[in-house]
Amino acid sequence: MDSTFVSNGLELACHIGRPPGDVQPGPGVILCHGFPIETLDAERSAGTFPQLMDRMASTLGCVTLTFNFRGCGNSEGDFSLQGWIDDLRAAISHLLTVSDPSGVILVGTNTGGSIAVCVGADDPRVAAVGLLSPRADFDDWAQHPRRFLEHAREIGAIHDRKFPASTDEWAREFRRFRPVASARRFAPRPMLVMHGDEDDSVPVSDARQLVNAHGDAELSLLEGAGHRLRHDPRAIAILLGWLDRMRSVQHHPSAAAG
């Protein structure tokens, strides 16, 4: 079901998946897309995610949600890292409003995975996180912020030529949020990290940094896989199996955090 919710006054497009039968006890699932890669790719961000979320809902027996971060797809607004953090927090609240899960499992691809662990570290509603090809930091963006700002405009993630009001403040957010430190704080709640050993966008060392910081995360390296793991059937099979296992625990996220 296609719908919307509001984050900081912006209307964000989302898709909610529901199982064909009764919803089974346990956490719901939210899937976060990554930062667009190609020119005008922002318009198509997460375009195939609704089908995956419907499959997850049917397979796992839970309510699922995917959405477009601000600046992407049919969502309003312009990209900022703080804005995307706020959007995910709002998405969690929205899922809890439209359903009654015992908590939320966050799944994120690429930048979406990095944001998922940053949000999850400080949100007791998050029971577990699954990260696909996550980046360990945003330092490459921070090193050349004006170049990255132009890139964000070129791919369509920033529409307003007057945005941001302060490039310096917009860029400071890239060092404010630290996925590795967040992974450390997220422990001992469960974390899965998947990475392709032939990823030419994010090195495997990023995945290892996150896993080592957490201390007890599951690491799955996929032989011959590239950056976009959501298109790899092996990755989806591993993810669905892990999600089923996480939901079967059926513990409240606050218990998992303790």
Q: Where residue 44 sits, what CATH number does that domain have? A: 3.40.50.1820
Residue 253 predicted with pLDDT over 80: no
What CA dihedral angle connects 201, 242, 100 and 11, to 10 degrees?
10
pLDDT score recorded for residue 30: 98
Count of the separate structural domains present in the chain: 1
Is there a domain that residue 255 lies in?
Answer: no
- Mean pLDDT along residues 191-204: 89
pLDDT for residue 250: 58
Q: What is the pLDDT of residue 134?
A: 95
> For residue 74, is it within any domain?
yes
User: pLDDT tens-digit profile of 28-40?
Assistant: 999 999 998 765 4
Give a yes or no: residue 258 inside a domain: no
Instruction: Give yes or no for residue 93 having a pLDDT over 70.
Output: yes
pLDDT value for 41: 55
- Which domain does 197 fall in, by range? 2-250
Res 44: pLDDT: 57
Average pLDDT, integer, range 39-58:
74
Mean pLDDT score of the chain: 91
Share of the chain above pLDDT 90, in %: 78
| Residue 49 placed within a domain | yes
Neighbours of 199 (CB within 10 A): 20
Instruction: Write the burial class of residue 21 (CB in 10 Å: 0-12 exposed, 13-18 middle, 19+ buried).
Output: exposed
User: Is 257 inside any structural domain?
Assistant: no
pLDDT at 232: 84
Residue 254 pLDDT greater than 60, yes or no: no
**Per-residue pLDDT band at 258 (split at 50, 70, 90):** very low
Is the model's pLDDT at 257 over the cut of 70? no
Considering the domain boundaries, does residue 56 fall inside one? yes
pLDDT for position 141? 95
88 forms beta bridges with: none
Distance CA 146, CA 152 (A): 10
